[in-house]
A and B are shown apart, each in its own frame.
Chain A
Amino acid sequence: MIADKANPGHGEVRMTDSLTELGIDSLEVVELTFLLEEKFDVEIPFNANSDIEAKTVADLVSAVEGLVAAKAARA
């Protein structure tokens, strides 16, 4: 999903890549958030006017992992 939003020709997406380096702008971060919420059935709270906390691919992955784990714990 992240690779789809990265600049064409970027090649393989690594965990350490920053979203900015991948050419993912703020609107695409909002879109990615929506796609991840839909895919994993979680809610990722964030306001695009506050600093976007997920700077790298790893930040995004760990945020989603945390939310999925929290959901599993509630279930």
Chain B
Amino acid sequence: MNRVVVTGLGAVSPVGQSVKDYWSALVAGRSGLQPPQIERGETLTTKLVGQIRDFDAAAHFDSKQIGLLDRVSQFAVVAAREALAQSGLTLTDELSENVAAIIGSGSGGQGTMDDGFHRLYAEGATRLHPLSIPRMMMSAAASQVSLHCNLKGPSYAVASACASATHAIGQAFHLVRSGTVTAALCGGTESSISFGAMKGWEAMRIMAPDACRPFSRDRKGMVIAEGAAVLVLENLDHARKRGADILAEVIGFGMSADAKDLTAPDPNGMARAITMAMKDASLAPGDVDYVNAHGTGTVANDESETQALHKSFGDAARKLAISSTKSVVGHSLGAAGALELVAVVMAMRDAVVPPTINYLGPDPACDLDYVPNEARSMPVNAALSNSFAFGGLNAVLAARSFKG
């Protein structure tokens, strides 16, 4: 089996459209959550979202390209370009056939769908734009990353709601580890802050009216966000040979399904995914320094995730630094796991763990160390990134700092 390292990172988020800006906002605990600005959204009651208000598509794509790209694909391509540039990979004909593009998304081209269906149902239009289907299809972002970056290896989308990006990165990890490909661009993207989708979220009655405060007492729910992140995973030998700057190593992946409830989380299913990732990575509970939690800010998730960490770590759970970066950027659903793995890699690089902001004080059901409100300087040698989706689909990645 091949060792798999990270050689590039890219991010588009509500707090910055580059890894540098995203990461500095996470460490500073500078929230990107604001009241929504949504077309036709007058009847929405949502108080907060993580929108990327100043995303300028024209700065990244020419007018011909923009017509082909839903916003969800634009985010993915911008993040992929940043990651590929950082990796320094030169895509010769031969190499390009050995690089995968695996991109997760929870709901694909929602904006295209919402706008198109509004035209049909509300405005009485009789036809849709001819590119509606290729813009909105779930795999559009994966295709666009492949097209824009000239990647000719395996390419597909992975959908598992809020765990999509983590499953996508896990798939890419397996492809590089097994030697199927030399490298992979992988991650997730989401842009579903549309009138129709937000009405759906409002109906579930789980959105916070005040702030996203994961694991805190008086937390009132999650905040929907958009964004994308892409990582370059590469065969270690290949990265070494070309003298690449190795940012971290991906060492394990675990996944499970609860087979229990469509929306309620199950600590047992979560714990199985965590334990599987640690076993895959040959990590003992005491080896892990940091967990980037799923931490959505709902009462149910944060309590269940805490129980799952107790189950899988035993006494070592109390020594973990755990934080939810969703407190800063919100929950970008199918992109979340990738943005969070980027945070894990940066935490290793800079030896600083980003905080869980908006933390008011402990909830008896959440009794671990959530790095409240202030970033913490500490070495991070090994870490996990948790993603737990509606439908009981769990995915956990394990990474460690690269020491040769």
Contacts and interface: CB of A to CB of B under 8 A. Distances in A.
Interface of A: 25-27, 30, 33-34, 46-50
Interface in B191-214: 203-209
Contacts of A30: 203-205
Nearest to A52: B205
Contacts, number: 34
B264 A25 contact: yes
B220 interface: yes
4 A-B pairs with the lowest CB-CB distances in the bound complex, closest first: A49-B221, A48-B205, A49-B299, A49-B220
Nearest to A34: B203
Q: Chain A interface secondary structure, helix, strand, loop or mixed?
A: loop
B383 to A, nearest CB: 28
Given A33-B205, A34-B203, A50 B220 contact: yes
Contact of A47 (B205, B261, B263, B264): B205
B301 to A, nearest CB: 10
Contacts of A46: 205
Contact of B206 (A25, A34, A49): A49
B323 interface: no
A27 B206 CA distance: 10
A50 B207 CA distance: 11
Contacts of A26: 264, 300
Contacts of B264: 25-27
Contacts of A47: 205-207, 209, 220-221
Interface string B262-300: 111000000000000000000000000000000000111
A7 to B, nearest CB: 15
A66 B204 CA distance: 23
Contacts of B331: none
A26 B262 CA distance: 12
Nearest to A25: B264
A58 B220 CA distance: 26
Interface in B170-224: 203-209, 219-221
Contacts of B221: 47-49
A48 B261 CA distance: 16
B263 A49 contact: no
Given A30-B204, A47-B220, 17 more contacts: A25-B261, A26-B264, A26-B300, A27-B261, A27-B263, A33-B205, A47-B205, A47-B206, A48-B205, A48-B206, A48-B221, A48-B298, A48-B299, A49-B219, A49-B220, A49-B298, A50-B220
A17 B219 CA distance: 29
Contacts of A48: 204-206, 221, 298-299
A47 B298 CA distance: 10
B209 to A, nearest CB: 7
28 contacts: A25-B261, A25-B264, A26-B264, A26-B300, A27-B261, A27-B262, A27-B263, A30-B203, A30-B204, A30-B205, A33-B205, A46-B205, A47-B205, A47-B206, A47-B209, A47-B220, A47-B221, A48-B204, A48-B206, A48-B221, A48-B298, A48-B299, A49-B206, A49-B219, A49-B220, A49-B221, A49-B298, A49-B299
